[in-house]
Structure 1
Amino acid sequence: MAGHSKFKNIMHRKGAQDKKRSNLFSKLSREITVAAKMGMPDPDMNPRLRLAVNAAKAQSMPKDNIQRAIDKATASDGENYEEVRYEGYGPGGSAIIVEALTDNRNRTATNIRTAFSKNGGNMAASGAVAHGFERKGLIEYPASAGDEETVLMAAMEAGADDIESSEDGHTIWTEMEALHEVSSSMEKALGEAENVKLAWKPNLTVELDEKDAGVLLKLVDMLDDDDDVQTVWGNYEISDEIMDKLDG
């Protein structure tokens, strides 16, 4: 088990999701619908749907919205979304993975290419960036869940691979296939997690200076604002000092 880490992701930026709650609910709904369509529309029988519903609940999405998204999966006139992954390079040699759910590949690819080109980056061929990441399970708890030792013990007993703790909270990593089992075990010990999802964890990270960090955050914000984009992952590190300046 590792201790502290500066692993950064746009999802961790304070208040970022609160400012975009309606946009966030739309993305969560889309994931729920796709998950329900790919398997059974019952979270107990469909692991991906269970993760999607848990993620929605963690963001205080109303039960009616969740049920409506599940019902869309069986509607004859429902939209058909396709999973697409885009890869690219951002400022300072950073690597970016963008996961999208789209009903129009051309529109989505154009929007993402535009976001990269306007913000110091460029698109890359499929696989050019992903080889520098591992597909892992990610569980996040707030700092209020307990101190580092308490969360570490719960994670170890649950069979997690790694834990990173800071004053902002706890990040627990698992093998992709073990995510549901580990998260269920940790929920019994610590209560419901803030986030449970599949993630892209970088093997190596690059630290950005203030100039590159500012441009990169604009890139990620522009990507995140796109309705088709579900998640944005990167291998960048931004120091707390620089982050405070940019958020200030």
Structure 2
Amino acid sequence: MKRWGNMAKTFTKIGREIVIAVKSGGPDPVANPRLRVLMQNAKAANMPKENVERAIKKASSKDQADYKEVVYEGYGPFGIAMIVETATDNPTRTVANVRSYFNKNNGSLGTTGSVDYMFDHKCSFKVTNKEGVDAEELELELIDFGVQEVFVEEDYIMVYGEFEGFGPIQKYLEENEFEILNAEFERIPHETKTLNEEQQAAIEKLLGKFEEDDDVTNVFHNMA
């Protein structure tokens, strides 16, 4: 049941991201690179095709509420820095919920910029491996696009780059016929904090509250 709950949560998250992408770039994936990559993410998450089509159709409807991407920053218990990413049609509701999760779990909602500086904002692409690809050569090729690291596994290649490089990196990969399996934005902490088991359990409890909220799309933290 937990797994099905997580799948439903993932589908809701991707569905909202599709709505935002369609509202900003149109319903045609050929002309909308962000939508193209979200459709791949949906496929990787085993999201049914009809769910994706429904989200695109819904986003094109005049009645569809606009989702805004709002980021909240704060501290969990034991000084753990947290960044909470949301996609919401009602920021007043969302901020009230986020604040209450922090408050009820010995944390506090901070102001914009209060913990953001502790994290690097990155993008990552998982693409199918092609025969004869050399990781170092590919990394050198992609440095000008903001790529910092390339790892080659047997079946796939991981490409990590600057947040701002997402569009140019995606364009390069598509033009050079790399199949993008998944693409994400990540926030990687500069340093992590080690907690004992009891303290970790308190953080996990707070993360669980965020995970249950449909408005929350991602939570990043600096707990080791």
Query: TM (normalized to structure 1)?
Result: 0.74
More displaced stretch, 177-186 vs 46-55: 177-186
Post-superposition shift, 1:97?
0.6
Aligned-residue CA RMSD (Å): 3.2
Identity, % of aligned positions: 34
1:214 is matched with which residue? 201
Contact between 1:155 and 1:172, CA under 8 Å: does it hold in 2? Answer: no
1:81 is matched with which residue? 67
Higher RCO (CA-CA < 8 Å; seq separation 6+): 1
Output the CA distance in 2 between the equivalents of 1:165 and 1:119: 41
Unaligned segments of structure 2, at least 5 residues = none
Output the CA distance in 1 between the equivalents of 2:140 and 2:121: 22
Instruction: State the one-letter code of the partner of 2:35.
Output: L
Contact between 1:116 and 1:123, CA under 8 Å: does it hold in 2? Answer: yes
1:94 is matched with which residue? 80
**Selected match of 1:202 from 189, 203, 208:** 189
SS of equivalent to 1:45: coil
Output the CA distance in 2 between the equivalents of 1:200 and 1:60: 24
Instruction: State the one-letter code of the partner of 1:174.
Output: G
2:125 is matched with which residue? 139
Output the CA distance in 2 between the equivalents of 1:165 and 1:219: 35
Instruction: State the one-letter code of the partner of 1:76.
Output: K
Post-superposition shift, 1:217?
1.3
SS of equivalent to 1:72: helix
Q: Summarize deviations over 1:61-119 as a string: whole Å, max 9, x none.
A: 11111111111122121122122111111133211111111111121111111111222
Instruction: State the one-letter code of the partner of 2:173.
Output: S
Query: After the TM superposition, which residues 226-237 of structure 1 pair with which residues of structure 2 at under 5 Å, given as runs?
Result: 226-237=213-224
- Distance 1:185-1:17 versus aligned 2 partners, 3 A rule: farther
Instruction: State the one-letter code of the partner of 1:110.
Output: A
Instruction: State the one-letter code of the partner of 2:42.
Output: A
- Distance 1:105-1:216 versus aligned 2 partners, 3 A rule: same
Query: After the TM superposition, which residues 85-234 of structure 1 pair with which residues of structure 2 at under 5 Å, given as runs?
Result: 85-140=71-126, 152-153=135-136, 156=139, 159=142, 160-162=147-149, 172-182=159-169, 185=173, 192-193=180-181, 195-234=182-221
Post-superposition shift, 1:124?
0.5
Query: TM (normalized to structure 2)?
Result: 0.81
Post-superposition shift, 1:172?
4.1
The count of corresponding residues between Structure 1 and Structure 2 is 215
Post-superposition shift, 1:131?
1.5
Contact between 1:154 and 1:189, CA under 8 Å: does it hold in 2? Answer: no
Instruction: State the one-letter code of the partner of 1:236.
Output: M
Contact between 2:136 and 2:150, CA under 8 Å: does it hold in 1? Answer: no
Instruction: State the one-letter code of the partner of 1:100.
Output: T
Post-superposition shift, 1:171?
5.8
Post-superposition shift, 1:222?
0.9
Output the CA distance in 2 between the equivalents of 1:20 and 1:129: 27
1:243 is matched with which residue? none
Post-superposition shift, 1:37?
0.4
Unaligned segments of structure 1, at least 5 residues = 1-14, 238-248
